[in-house]
Amino acid sequence: MRNTPLRRMAALAVLASIVGVAISYLIDWFPTQASTAAGDVDLLYDVLLYVSVPIFVGVMTVVVYSVIRFRARPGDTGDGAPIHGSARLEVVWVIVPFLIVSALSAYGWVVLDNNEDPQADEMVIKVQGQQFAWHFEYPGPDGKPVKTDDLVLAKDRPVKFDITAADVIHSFFVPAFRLKADAVPGITTTFRVTPNKEGTYPIVCAELCGIGHSTMRQFVKIVPEGEAAAWLERERREATASASVSGAAPPLTGAAR
Amino acid sequence: MTAVAKFRGPGWWRAALSLPLGLLFSLALVAAARAAYGYDPVIDGEAVTTVALIAMPMAFLVGIGCFDYWFRWASGAPTVPDDHSGHGARSWRDYFRVNTDHKVIGIQYIVTTFVFFILGGLMAMLIRAELAAPGTQFVDPNTYNGLFSVHASLMIFLFIIPVFAGIANYVIPLMIGAPDMAFPRLNALSFWMLPVAGVMMMASFFAPGGSFATGWTAYAPLSTDMPIGQTFFTLGVQFAGASSIATALNFLVTIITMRAPGLTFFRMPLLVWANFTTSLLVVIATPFIAGSQFFVLLDRALGTHFFQTGMGGDVILYQHVFWFYSHPAVYIMMLPGFGIVSEVISANARKPVFGYRMMAFSLVAIVILGFTVWAHHMFVSGMFAWLRIPMMITTMLIAVPTGIKIFSWLATLWRGVIHLTTPMLFALGFITMFTLGGISGIILAIIPVVIHVSDTYFVVAHIHYVLFGGSVFTIFAGIYHWFPKMTGRMYDESLGKIHFWLSFVFFNLTFGPMHLVGIDGMPRRVADYAEEFAGLNAFISVSSFLFGLSFLVFLYNMITSWRAGPRADANPWRAHTLEWQVSSPPPLFNFDEIPTVVGGPYEYGVPGAVHGVFSGGDTKDRAPSKTRPAPAVAGD
């Protein structure tokens, strides 16, 4: 007889969990996936949701069910059952969450390692954050670096970004790649990405860097390999041309201070 | 009183006189030092302001009278150890002077912190007004950055942390059967440092170059480069921090040494446990934020190079030191709430707290684990990469003791006799909102996901679920629960329920959608954003205004009930803990006779069980009981 409310409540919780998982499945959470890492990150997030929703729904069910079932009738001044605890139950709710979080951590670790693996044939692009814009530096065909304020990447060509900052901390964030790394004065941070979908996607600064922080937004363009090479060649020629006019290219550092 | 006596004795007159004296002192010190070094000009505005931000608050504290007794004692003048002239409140004026009564100090804390809560809330309204549409609406980006920085600093350092200290100040000595806190004068000093810190942070808006605008995190080197407004934060935090360290020491000594006879550690109410563990966190962790801000101050004022790269400084160092405090600070802002919820739920479900010992141990586990997770705030900061994995694992493990607490509250509800009073509604609302905040916390521990969502609105959503849906809901629960004890009057129950439902609904409509814009890639701390986020942001802004309005119901209820609510009984909730066994409000020294504790604090439903007895035999509505052993823990 004592089990009836428990069973009824468990049935309710299962039903509500199914609805909850369905809703979280239907919500379109993420921006476009434009890197090989994005799919894995989104899947990991979805798995986290499918594990979390039943836990949340379970908690809610117990609260709502208890409030309805065990609510005091008007004038009831009695006390509840003097239950002080249950060692068995307490062991269960230590061990089960422990196993869940351990499994999720392991899964997270695997995805992380996978996304940060060095790739063959990586193109190294230097990124510099400066109040309030991003500057880029490509390896030129002749070994001389090509400086530009646009970021154009070849589809399916792995890239490694070496990120620095000229003044304060910025954060190089490309939502479509699901990747972000702070640009820190004094050190070089990195992230690796293999873009896999053509298009134009926002780059934003995600670390408060001063007055212009919210305007520090640029775009990354992903184009076919040949087009990217042609673009880089144009940039190189323009840079050389303007360098021969003005004498020297302006140095990247120190301009904002 | 003659005019001279007015300025000689402690109080507002003397404080008003000491402020300009503090300023003069700063001018003189800076002028003398600069003249001695041959600097030109001898008066430098930034240097004077920096010195004045230390000298003027100290002068104010001396003027208002926080140090009078100690000065007299140190100078060998006669002091009366049993002088209780500064103790207790006979009129409203006694709330506006240095007072050594923990009940007066508790109310001073609560009212002061709610004033800053309102100010911080109004700033939030301005923030949401600015964000209602893309582009610039009302404030320029610099003011905007200042608004969210001051908003967060007030809410954290001037509301959540100290309001818990205020509630505990009032309740803890009563709960443990003590006449007051262990160090009443230190207690008064702790309180008076708070308004000082708050006024400093607010005053930064009048500084040249605007208020501090680097977030409450004040990351270097941005904070070392900012105009003078930043110093108002750097030094304001020192006063708030010193206040919280002193109070925590006071709580530790009070709880360790002043418990009533028979009140063993494992008979203490869970609020006492919560404050004990919180105080441990405060005394260990708070010196780290003090250190981080002193480094910033030294870089700014004295030209040191803690955070100047190229001069041997290290930018990441700031974040390590800062978060070594600021992650435990999250638990400083949550553990007292756990305590309040345990009290409210057991009294309103008429049941013993399920798994009492595990509830106490889980608090201790959170304290210990809380010191091992700080770098999860730095997963994309560029710190050494290997540290991320252990920090992810410890962060995930904190879910275990937190889970123990949530499941134990649920089990406490089971087969209870549940009274849905306003504090109970807030406690139940807390459980659901905090579970959501905990789940988004788990998501924020998994490195590949957090690389995407860190520094986005997802984090803003998470922090508000934890600190508003979590901490602030427990604060409301606590205020309603002990309102009859503090004021001797009952609040209006239906207004309380309206307040709950309005806050619960509009809280979720405000902060729920922030998860979505965050995952979609909207960074936080931006005055302007891309078109694609316009729809949801407009919705969030409208919800937030309604959410803000819901607070007026609370304010109206509190003011009118305090002035003219129906008289409250000693024990309107029929709770067992000691604070309910004395009149509402309690007598000047709390207990005419110190009670003896003979059992656990939550023995609801155990026939004849009592927590404390007065040897005079009068335990109010309960039959006098002979001393009996604590009831054994009943099994499954």
Nearest Cβ partner for A85 among B354, B431, B455? B354
Q: In terms of CA atoms, which chain B residue is nearest residue A93?
A: B404
CA distances from B484 to B492, B581, B585 (A): 11, 13, 8
Contact state of B634 with A173 under an 8 Å Cβ cutoff: no
pLDDT over 70 (residue A243)? no
B351 neighbors A79 (Cβ within 8 angstroms): yes
Cβ burial A148-159 (10 Å sphere, 16+ → b, else e): beebbbbbebbb
Q: Is A107 exposed, middle or buried (0-12, 13-18, 19+ CB in 10 A)?
A: middle
Q: Which one of A92, A180, A189, A218 would you mutate to disrupt binding with B, by most B Cβ within 10 Å of its Cβ?
A: A180
Amino acid at B631: P
Contact state of B418 with A66 under an 8 Å Cβ cutoff: yes
Q: Which of A105, A150, A106 is nearest to A125 (CA)?
A: A150
Rounded average pLDDT over A107-131: 93
Q: In DSSP terms, which residues pair with B329 in a beta bridge? A: none
Judged by a CB distance cut-off of 8 A, whether residue B145 touches chain A is yes
Judged by a CB distance cut-off of 8 A, whether residue B313 touches chain A is yes
Cα–Cα distance for residue pair A109/B631, rounded to 1 Å: 48
Q: What is the pLDDT of residue A143?
A: 79
Which chain A residues have a beta carbon less than 8 Å from that of B399? Answer: 97, 101
Q: Which domains are seen in chain B, by residue range?
A: 3-74 (no CATH), 99-333 (1.20.210.10), 360-568 (1.20.210.10), 580-636 (no CATH)
Q: Which residues contact A63 (CB under 8 A, 6 or more apart)?
A: B410, B413, B428, B431, B432
Cα–Cα distance for residue pair B493/B497, rounded to 1 Å: 6
Q: Which residues contact A118 (CB under 8 A, 6 or more apart)?
A: A160, A192
Q: What is the pLDDT of residue A2?
A: 55
Rounded average pLDDT over A118-125: 91
Place of tokens 């869940």: A100
Q: What is the pLDDT of residue B451?
A: 95
Cα dihedral across residues B354, B360, B364, B367: positive or negative: positive
pLDDT tens digits along A32-75: 999 999 999 999 999 999 999 999 999 999 999 999 999 999 88
Measure B147 CA to nearest chain A CA, in Å: 12
Q: What is the pLDDT of residue B85?
A: 80
- Across the A:B interface, residue pairs with CB atoms under 8 Å apart total 270
Q: Which one of A3, A65, A84, A169 would you mutate to disrupt binding with B, by most B Cβ within 10 Å of its Cβ?
A: A84
Q: Which of B482, B579, B477 is nearest to B263 (CA)?
A: B579
Cα–Cα distance for residue pair B343/B337, rounded to 1 Å: 10
Q: In terms of CA atoms, which chain A residue is nearest residue B434?
A: A56
Q: What is the pLDDT of residue B615?
A: 78
Stretches in chain B below the pLDDT threshold 50: 618-636
Measure A117 CA to nearest chain B CA, in Å: 13
Q: What is the DSSP letter of A118?
A: -
Percentage of residues of chain A with pLDDT beyond 70: 93
Judged by a CB distance cut-off of 8 A, whether residue B536 touches chain A is no
Q: Which of B156, B136, B128 is nearest to B218 (CA)?
A: B156
Q: In terms of CA atoms, which chain B residue is nearest residue A131?
A: B222
Torsion of CA B278, B281, B283, B286, to 10 degrees: -110
Q: What is the DSSP letter of B101?
A: -
Q: Which residues contact B248 (CB under 8 A, 6 or more apart)?
A: B278, B279, B280, B282, B283, B286
What value of ipTM does the predicted structure carry? 0.92
Cα–Cα distance for residue pair A98/B400, rounded to 1 Å: 6
Q: What is the DSSP letter of A146?
A: E
Cβ burial B409-440 (10 Å sphere, 16+ → b, else e): bbbbbbbbbbbebbbbbbbbbbbbbbbbbbbb
Cα–Cα distance for residue pair B243/B246, rounded to 1 Å: 5
Tell me what the pLDDT averaged over chain A comes to. Answer: 89
pLDDT over 60 (residue A249)? no
pLDDT over 90 (residue A190)? yes
Q: What is the pLDDT of residue B1?
A: 62
Measure B415 CA to nearest chain A CA, in Å: 6
Instruction: Tokens for B568, please give them.
Output: 């409250």
Contact state of A169 with B219 under an 8 Å Cβ cutoff: yes
pLDDT over 90 (residue A152)? yes
Contact state of B315 with A185 under an 8 Å Cβ cutoff: yes
Cβ burial B564-589 (10 Å sphere, 16+ → b, else e): ebeebebbbbbbbbbbbbbebbbeee
Cα–Cα distance for residue pair B20/A224, rounded to 1 Å: 70
Contact state of A168 with B222 under an 8 Å Cβ cutoff: yes
Nearest Cβ partner for B428 among A63, A76, A206? A63
Place of tokens 């990991």: A44
Measure B256 CA to nearest chain A CA, in Å: 25
- Kind and range of the H or E element at B362? helix B356-370
In chain B, DSSP finds a helix count (H) and a strand count (E) of 22, 2
Nearest Cβ partner for A63 among B410, B447, B455? B410
Cα–Cα distance for residue pair A129/A218, rounded to 1 Å: 12
Q: What is the pLDDT of residue B619?
A: 45
Q: What is the pLDDT of residue A9?
A: 86
Contact state of A82 with B606 under an 8 Å Cβ cutoff: yes
Judged by a CB distance cut-off of 8 A, whether residue B416 touches chain A is yes
Nearest Cβ partner for B400 among A55, A97, A189? A97
